[in-house]
Structures are given as C-alpha cells and as structure tokens.
Structure 1
C-alpha cells in the first residue's frame, strides 16, 4: 500500500454518509493513519447539517475490521496503551464521541474483532450478515479492550454473559449476537445492503431533531435514577421542542401526508 493510498472511503448520498474502512488486504485493520482519516470524517459528518445518518462498513466480504494493526504497533516499538485514545492520532475516535447525536449504523460482515467489534458497539444499530463473527480477544494477547469494549459490553449484555466473552476472548456468531440483543438484524450476506437501506429509509422518515434528541437523552440517562432522567437538561430536546419540525409532524399526521422535515 503506497503512502498516498487512503484508508477510508467517505461518500455523501443525499442525507446519508457512507463510511468504509478500506484496507481489505489486511482485513480492515486500523493503523494510525486510518484513525486520523476517520477523525476527519466524523468531524465532517457531525458538522454537515445536510447529513442525518451514517453507515459504517468494511471493504470486502471477509471483515468489518479486525481492530488495531498489531504489526504496525510492534514495528513502531509496541508503545503500551490503556483505556481511551486521548493523546493518540485520531482522537476523539468514534468510540469516544459521546456527544455525536446523529444515528450511526454498523453494517457488519465477516470478522468484527477487537477494535472492530468496539467500533460496532459504539454505533446505534448493528445489521449483520450471517457470516459475521464478533470477539474481543485482547485478554489472549495480554491486552485490554481499551476502546470501550470493557465498558460497553457489560452495559449491553447481562454481566455474567459479558464477562464470559471479555475474560476468555471467545468468539460470538451472528446468530448468538442476535439472540443476545447485540445486533438488530441478521440477514444473508447478499441481502445485507438491502437490509441496511431499509433501516436507513426508516430513520430518514423520522424527524432528524427527534432522533438526535432521543439518542442524546437515552445515552446520557443510562446511569441516572429515573427521576433525575426526567429532570435533566438535554440540549437537543430543547432545540426539537421549539423547532418547525415539532409543528410539522403533528400537522402532517392530521392532514394525512408525509411530513417534510426541515431539521430546524
């Protein structure tokens, strides 16, 4: 791979950003340059008011991503890492963009291992092909899932189930992930693009300010007592509640038509 080759493809189609990890020859392992490119992509996605949804996938059919490029790490001296990416290239990475309120869909086929699985866990929805395989194998390498896998898995699965996968590094099939509620849908590989397109269409039918307000409120209130969740301040709900869209939605329903969202 030449020095000028980009690691990430970024396409804008209408309201949707398509982000593709593009190192299929190494199963979309993430090197430092890929992280730097991804940071620019997520900055642009967050700032572009024309974009309402993002779809994150890996190039080729073999892997979503196998995580950190360990060959690069060893070649560069194997600098120890710990939780989070602050101070490293590409910070804040998607796994630490806690204020990103636009919905992100992970489209997973093949391997989603280590940091690749952590990327998927940081997305709002996961649509997986039947060939998808998930794992956090860091313990087998004397490492920790430092991009949020430790923290997200114990929040998204029952504790004992999560600890089983974290402490052993064992793999999880797409069917197991669906059964455990980690993914939203599992389809045949040839149906994956169509399934993602249907989810995107459903998201775009919803008010963009509403989806952002819902995401922000849901994520911020995860660890709050219920009474505190009701009284907390959510900036995007404040924007939605006084927006044109908050009037347009009920009006369109009464008039028997599809709403025309302005996003303001």
Structure 2
C-alpha cells in the first residue's frame, strides 16, 4: 500500500459510506497470493532517504488518505474481509477493521512491524489486544510471528475458514445473510456493539446510538413485524 493507493482507497470509502444503495462491502486482494502485505516499504525507504517524510506513529491524521479504513470509527455498514493468502502488517490491520473475516485455508496472518523497527500503527496494537486474550496478543505483537487461518479461527479473529476453491461461495453466503437483514438494524447493531465493547452494561444501556435512533423511527422497524404477521418476506427500504 503506497500513498497513491491510500488516496484512492479513501475516495472509495467515502463513496461506500455515502451511497445508500450499498448495504455491505467486501474487501479483498487480487489473485490468490495475498490479501495485502501492508505498507510499501520501498516507497517508505525512498521517502526517508529523500528527507520528505516525518516520523510515523499511531494513526494517519495529516497523512494522505486520512481517514483510512482503520480509523473510520463511525463506519456503520458491515464489511467482510475475503482473505486469500497473506494478510501482513497493514493488510492484517485492514482485516482486523472489518466485521467478518472469511479466510482460505492457506491464508497467513501477522503484524511483523517490530522486525522492521516500526509499530502496527494502523490499529493493530489496539485491536489485537482488545480482540484476543492479552498475553496471546502480546506474543504475536512483540515477535511478529505468523499464524495460520485455522489458528486465527481458533482465536476468534477469523469468522470462517474454507478451502480456497470454496472462498467465493462462502463470502457470498455471508453477504446474502447480511442483505436479507434490515440495513438500519444491522448498522444499529454494529454501532452499539462497537461503542459498548468496553462499557459497563448499565452505561451501555444509557449510551446514545445514532443509528439505533434512525432504526427506531424508520419504516423498516414497522415493516419487519408486519411482514412476519403477513407471512411474507420483508421489503426493506433502509430509511
């Protein structure tokens, strides 16, 4: 991922957020060798040599492509990561920022930044320690060790692992399940789950959720029970 790619991806995420005809996104890489192997270190080294880059740390504020996916904390639409091959460094951080991760059996995950004098600054440090047992997360963060798709599934980072030839069909099933649900209800659920993750239950109940307010007053909130009573599939409007 070079600076131009970050710039292009930012435009895509803007479109994804704003287009109400799009209810779910699937993020994947081209081919079967890698999902993404992260930052273009050759470009970084060249910029360092030219003296045209400031030292980097956590986050991308002020950098090209901000806010990047890993910092779009209010993105309520569901994202599925289709991981076919290596998901390393910033590539793995993209997958961690998705809601559902479907991986081919040969997929490999790692945050090897410490081996390059860097840190997993696109949220890897934070998301790994919040999504895994703390010592397990530290083991991978401090060593840059790789782990398999099956290990990722066992740890709860991967939603489903399938043979490479079944990957597309598996992703399609997840997408089909998502689009059968009311889009505002999906977004409200995602928002509430993310925002309440580290809150006491009492405080979670008392927190204001923007997408839940939209869902609560939407036509879809009436359509769901009505369709059930009339024994027909619901016709979601997403508004």
Give the TM interval when normalised to the shorter protein.
Answer: over 0.9
Aligned to 1:50: 21
Q: Please give the secondary structure, in 1, of the residue aligned with 2:48.
A: coil
RMSD between aligned alpha carbons? 0.7
DSSP-derived class of the 2:145 partner: coil
Q: TM-score scaled to structure 1, two decimals? A: 0.88
Separation in structure 2 between the aligned mates of residue 77 and residue 158 of structure 1, nearest angstrom: 36
Count of paired positions: 235
Unmatched segments (≥5 aa) in structure 2:
none
- Structure 2 CA distance, aligned partners of 1:131 and 1:194? 16
Give the distance between the partners of 2:120 and 2:149, measured in 1 at CA: 20
Higher relative CO (Cα under 8 Å, sequence separation at least 6) belongs to 2
Counterpart check, 1:66 vs 2:41: no
The structure whose residues are more often helix, as a share, is 2
**Residue 192 of structure 1 corresponds to which residue in structure 2?**
167
Structure 2 SS opposite 1:106:
strand
What corresponds to 1:131 in structure 2? 106
Instruction: Spell out, residue by residue over 1:19-46, the C-alpha distance to the aligned partner (whole angstroms, 9 max, x if none).
Output: xxxxxxxxxxx00000000000000000
Q: In 2, distance between residues paired with 1:143 and 1:74?
A: 12
TM-score by length of 2: 0.97
Distance 1:177 1:223 in 2: 22
Show the 5 A alignment for 1:77-226.
77=48, 79=53, 80-226=55-201
Point out where structure 1 has 5 or more consecutive residues left out of the alignment.
Answer: 1-29
Give the superposition deviation at 1:223: 1.5
Structure 1 residue 187 displacement after superposition: 0.4
| Structure showing the higher strand proportion among its residues | 1
Secondary structure, counterpart of 2:39 in structure 1: coil
Cα displacement (A) at 1:257: 1.1
Q: Using the alignment, how far apart are the partners of 2:153 and 2:197 within structure 1?
A: 22
* Stretches (4+) displaced over 2 A: none
Deviation at 1:240, TM superposition (A): 0.4
Query: Following the alignment from structure 1 to structure 2, what is the Cα–Cα distance between the partners of residues 97 and 149?
Result: 14
Does 1:249 pair with 2:220? no
